Amino acid sequence: MKGRYDVSSMRHAIHGAAPCPDHVKRAMIDWWGSCVEEYYAASEGGGAFATAEEWLKKPGTVGKAWPISELAVFDDDGNRLAAGQLGTVYMKMSTGGFSYHKDETKTRKNRIGDFFTVGDLGVLDADGYLFLRDRKIDMIIAGGVNIYPAEIESALLTHPAVADAAAFGIPHADRGEEVKAVVEPAEGHEPGDELAAAILAHCEERLAGYKRPRSIDFIAAMPRDPNGKLYKRRLREPYWEGHRRPL
């Protein structure tokens, strides 16, 4: 199919808004070349940008801070973390700050000095490249261990029968939460116990035991907005009816 298209005139193909699995990103670059670019940003301001060349050198990165932006990672006590340490990603713009309209409480809650956060978890490496891990609100805590759904979803998406996938925590009487996966089957694949078993076996080869989904449910189409962002809350809420999330 690729041979039917001439992509030599493409100059920029920019993606963002939602994580792109590594194998998909690499396939895009292999086909389209160096025009593939990625951004990470917030409506409030600030962000990062990565060219194809940068991503190939540092697979998984969403890039370095814009020239007018600064990135930092802080722990839950407000301490700025060194390179390689996981924490909450904060940003600030050299062009000035902002406040949420008629909501000073929200403005203060998401601030450390001039830095603000939208709740993403990540790591800055020694060269200033940002690697996102997940949304803080989506983190699963099972038996006191933090589990990041993005890694699980990336593993699920490498299975040829998986068109789209989501992972999140559901109630567990002893461990607090356990990992649930919801999968949109690829065309030509029938949802059911046999496919679920095959996908779980696939995960066994790619994920540590505590990160693996304990069960899989299937959905005809994953709920996403026009920009590709997943409405994960819509998937998660039915499992939490009558329960209180520990997060």
Domains, in order of start, for the chain: 2-136 (3.40.50.12780), 139-240 (3.30.300.30)
What are the E-state strand segments in the chain? 13-15, 36-41, 47-50, 64-65, 69-74, 87-93, 111-112, 115-116, 120-124, 130-135, 140-142, 145-147, 162-172, 176-185, 215-218
pLDDT-derived band at 26 (thresholds 50, 70, 90) equals very high
pLDDT number for residue 3: 79
pLDDT number for residue 45: 81
* Nearest of 53, 59, 58, 13 to residue 36 by alpha carbon: 13
Give me the residue label for tokens 């920019």. 14
Token output for 20? 């792109």
Find the mean pLDDT for residues 17-37: 88
Find the mean pLDDT for residues 26-40: 94
**pLDDT 10s digits, 152-209:** 999 999 999 999 999 999 999 888 899 999 999 999 999 999 999 999 999 999 999 9
**pLDDT 10s digits, 72-118:** 999 999 999 999 999 999 999 888 777 888 888 887 888 999 899 98
The Cα 120–Cα 116 span in angstroms is 11
Residue 246 has pLDDT above 70, yes or no: no
pLDDT number for residue 215: 96
pLDDT number for residue 100: 81
* Residue 149 and residue 168 in contact, taking contact as beta carbons nearer than 8 Å: yes
Residue 144 has pLDDT above 90, yes or no: no
236 CB contacts (<8 Å, ≥6 apart)?
A: 168, 169, 170
pTM summary value: 0.74
pLDDT number for residue 247: 45
Find the mean pLDDT for residues 138-148: 90
pLDDT number for residue 227: 78
**pLDDT 10s digits, 34-75:** 999 999 988 788 899 999 999 999 999 999 999 999 999 999
pLDDT-derived band at 245 (thresholds 50, 70, 90) equals low
CA triple 46-104-78, angle to 5 deg: 60
- Compute the CA torsion angle 27, 33, 34, 38 (nearest 10 deg): -30
